[in-house]
A and B are shown apart, each in its own frame.
Chain A
Amino acid sequence: MPTLVSFLLGLLFGLGLLISGMINPAKVLGFLDIAGQWDPSLALVMVGAIGVGTVLFRLFGQRQSSVLGEPMRVPTRQDIDRPLILGAVGFGVGWGLAGFCPGPAIAALGAGEGKAFVFVAAMLLGMWGFERWQARA
Chain B
Amino acid sequence: MTIDWSAFTPWSALIGGLLIGLSASLLLILNGRIAGISGIVGGLLQRPDNDSSWRLAFLGGLVAAPILWLLVAGAPEIRIDAGYPMLILAGLIVGFCTRLGAGCTSGHGVCGLSRLSPRSLVATLCFMAAGFVTVYLVRHGLGG
Contact = CB atoms under 8 A, between A and B. Distances in A.
* A and B physically associate: yes
List 9 A-B pairs, minimum CB-CB distance, nearest first: A87-B101, A126-B95, A10-B61, A14-B65, A20-B16, A48-B17, A92-B130, A122-B91, A53-B114
A102 B63 CA distance: 12
B21 to A, nearest CB: 3
A5 B105 CA distance: 22
A95 B30 CA distance: 30
Contact of A14 (B64, B84, B98): B64
Interface string A15-51: 1111111111111011011111111111111111111
A131 B96 CA distance: 9
A91 B61 contact: no
A9, A43, A129 — most chain B CB neighbours (10 Å): A9
Contact of A94 (B33, B90, B106): B90
Contacts, number: 502
Main secondary structure of the interface of B (DSSP, over half): helix
Main secondary structure of the interface of A (DSSP, over half): helix
Given A2-B31, A35-B140, A36-B140, A24 B132 contact: no
Interface in B101-118: 101-106, 108-118
21 contacts: A3-B53, A6-B31, A10-B58, A10-B63, A13-B35, A16-B22, A22-B16, A24-B77, A32-B132, A38-B1, A45-B13, A50-B113, A68-B32, A80-B119, A86-B97, A89-B126, A89-B127, A101-B106, A126-B96, A127-B38, A129-B92
Interface of B: 1-4, 7-10, 12-35, 37-38, 41-42, 45-46, 53-55, 57-70, 75-82, 84, 86-106, 108-119, 122-124, 126-136, 138-140
Interface residues of A, number: 115
A3 B31 CA distance: 9
A106 B127 contact: no
Given A45-B20, A52-B22, A61-B115, A35 B63 contact: no
A129 B42 CA distance: 11
B136 A33 contact: yes
A61, A87, A92 — most chain B CB neighbours (10 Å): A92
Contact of A130 (B90, B96, B123): B96
A101 B30 CA distance: 25
B19 A53 contact: no
A40 B8 contact: yes
Given A7-B61, A107-B65, A13 B118 contact: no
Contact of B87 (A2, A50, A90, A115): A115
Contacts of A128: 45, 95
